[in-house]
Structure formats: C-alpha cells, structure tokens
Structure 1
C-alpha cells in the first residue's frame, strides 16, 4: 500500500501522506513521484505547485525542512500549502484560551489596564480612568465608570452586555 498518494484538483496537485507510514518511506515515495512527473514529456517547462496533506500526522520543522529539500532538487516544483487534520498543543491551548469565558472579579483603579484573552464575565468594578480590555466579548455584572474595550484584536463581532451607562467609553474593535 502506498505511503503517498498524488491527486489532481482544480487548484493544482496534492500529496496525501499516510499517517501510519514511516517518514522515511514518505520521503522516498515523494522523491520517486517527483522524478516520474519531472520526466513526463507533456509537463516539460510547466511550474507545478503541490499541497501537502498530512492527515493525522503533525510534521515538525525538521521533517518539513527535509521534504522541502526534496522539492529543491526539482526546480519546476514547489510546495503551495500544508494541511493537517491535527493542531499542535500550543495552537490548541491558544484556541481554547480565546474561546473560554473567563471570570474577572477585580477592582480596576485609575491608571490600571486589565487585558484578557477570550470572553470575560466581569463581576468587579472599573473606576474612572481604569481600562478593561478583552479579545472577545465582555459581559458586565459589576459597575463600570472607566473604559470597556471588547474585541481588542479587531474582533468587530464582539459585544458588550450589561449596565455600562456610567462608562467613560465603550469600545468594540477599533470603534
């Protein structure tokens, strides 16, 4: 059973790497396929780009570099993009942190800035001159006399809910 499958799409070609195969087998088969395509008369002179679909295998930087070195032996070919069905632990933790509702029961005084990732359920107090920033939405149960800034990283779909009648400013994204 092959470790690498070559498929053609409208956007170009795609290598599907079997996640159960050894990495050495995959490198060998990629090299063999690129040799065959290089030698075909119908494709002489054409520049071809390939997508790499690794399935449930997450390539580390060293492995990706080894595959790129194989492609460097064939100047007509290049890697267009890399797809994987899995995330790195770091990416997953960032995603989880941004999608979680965090509880904040602090007092934010004049001159203080409290920055948080994701959505925030705020039960504390923001005094005049204090700033509460969140990358997601802010749900206010406490008192606000300072600045509330939801969607701090340009998330225009973020919302601010609660009693903010006495707030100095209510910001969403860059508005």
Structure 2
C-alpha cells in the first residue's frame, strides 16, 4: 500500500505551493518537509532567481512558534522566499473581528452637526443625519430618515458597500476611497424618495432609485424583508 505523502510540492507560474497534510503529527510533517526540500535539486541552483513559496496547511492549527519554525526552515533553503501561509483555521480574535464587521448595528438617534457615529459593521440608523453630522461604517449604511450630512460606507476599503437613505440630500458621500459630492439641487429640494448610492463597474459612484438594488447587489439579504 502506497504511503500517504505529508508534503506535496507543486510548481505554479508564481512560484511553489507546498500542500502540507493537516492530519499527521507535526514532527512527521517537519521531517518530510526537510527531506522533500533538500532533495529538490532545482532549488539549490545558485544562479536561479528567488522563488516565492505559498504554504497550504488546510485545517491544521499552527502556533506562532511552529509557523516561524517552518518559515525559518524554508528561508534557509537557497532561493526560497515564504510569501504566505494559508489556513482554513481562524483564531477566536479573528472570528470575533469578522463577526463585528458583519453585524448590523441599529441606532435610533439624530446625528447633529459636529457629531460622528461610527460602527465596525453595517449601520441601520433610524433618524436623521443633519448637515455637519457624519456617519461611518465598515459595511453598508442604511438611513431611515434624512441624510443631509456626510456618509462614508466601506471605510476600510469595501467597494461593494452601499449607502441607502429615505431622503438622500447629503453634503458628501464616500464608499471606500470613492468620493461624490451631492448635486446642487439636493440642497434646494426635499426629494422624499428612497435612494441608494453604489460604485458601478466603471468605478463611478452612482445615486439611483432603491429599486435597482436587487440587480446590482443581489447578495444583500441580511435585512430581511427589505425596505
């Protein structure tokens, strides 16, 4: 019966990918990794350029010391540079951070001039954003009221975030790094029509009727029942 390999080395156009068995003992993994790399002749060619290495560890959890041990061993091999270690495992801290970034924070308030309301996930504001007020969210922003101040969605770089308001009359809209100042007519009239702002395929911020939301962002389903 053929023995299962704990280390598989695959060449790609970007370098090497090491697939490490996530079921075997760590010491056995390290021993086989050493044997495989030391027997890989092309790696030891002094005239070869640096080779980028990605390490796939699957469902194995590595401590910081074990990660550093593997990285250090690979770095000692001539021409190899560790690019990243890819794991299916997330730490408790990473899971909590992701949960916060994906939760909907509901706030009932009026954001007045000089005030800033910021949340790590999606913001559902039941109230108004007055001129001079600012709302910021890592995810989407939903304002069930007048948006007359500044709204910045996707502040950490999420370009698929959206901004929705019952009455869209903003001083400024931002999604990720894309900025849009409201047209002059917004300051002169109450539109009383729910609208949404989003970045389209040409990287331009568009303000349109809420009805288009289902076609441009079909995966936004966390607010059950819609608007």
TM-score w.r.t. the length of structure 2 is 0.65
* 1:113 correspondence with 2:107: no
Change (3 A) 1:64 1:165: closer
* More deviation, 110-119/142-151: 142-151
Task: Name stretches of at least 5 consecutive residues in structure 2 with no aligned partner.
Answer: 180-227
1:42 CA drift (Å): 9.4
**Structure with greater contact order relative to length (CA < 8 Å, sep ≥ 6):** 1
CA distance in 2 between counterparts of 1:125 and 1:14 reads: 52
Change (3 A) 1:2 1:51: same
CA distance in 2 between counterparts of 1:80 and 1:172 reads: 30
SS at match of 1:163: strand
CA contact (8 A) 2:105 2:124 kept: yes
Match in the other structure for 2:225: none
Deviations 1:110-154 (A, max 9, x none): 321111122211113333322111122211113444333223334
SS at match of 2:29: helix
1:97 to 100, 104, 119: 100
CA distance in 2 between counterparts of 1:42 and 1:132 reads: 53
2:65 to 62, 65, 87: 62
2:35 to 32, 35, 42: 32
Write the mapping of 1:126-137 to structure 2, written as runs, cut at 5 A: 126-137=129-140
Change (3 A) 1:148 1:77: closer
Counting matched residue pairs gives 173
Task: Name stretches of at least 5 consecutive residues in structure 1 with no aligned partner.
Answer: none
Match in the other structure for 2:152: 149
Change (3 A) 1:34 1:124: same
* 1:9 correspondence with 2:12: yes
CA distance in 2 between counterparts of 1:53 and 1:65 reads: 15
TM-score w.r.t. the length of structure 1 is 0.81
CA contact (8 A) 1:140 1:163 kept: yes
Match in the other structure for 1:44: 45
SS at match of 2:97: helix
1:41 CA drift (Å): 7.4
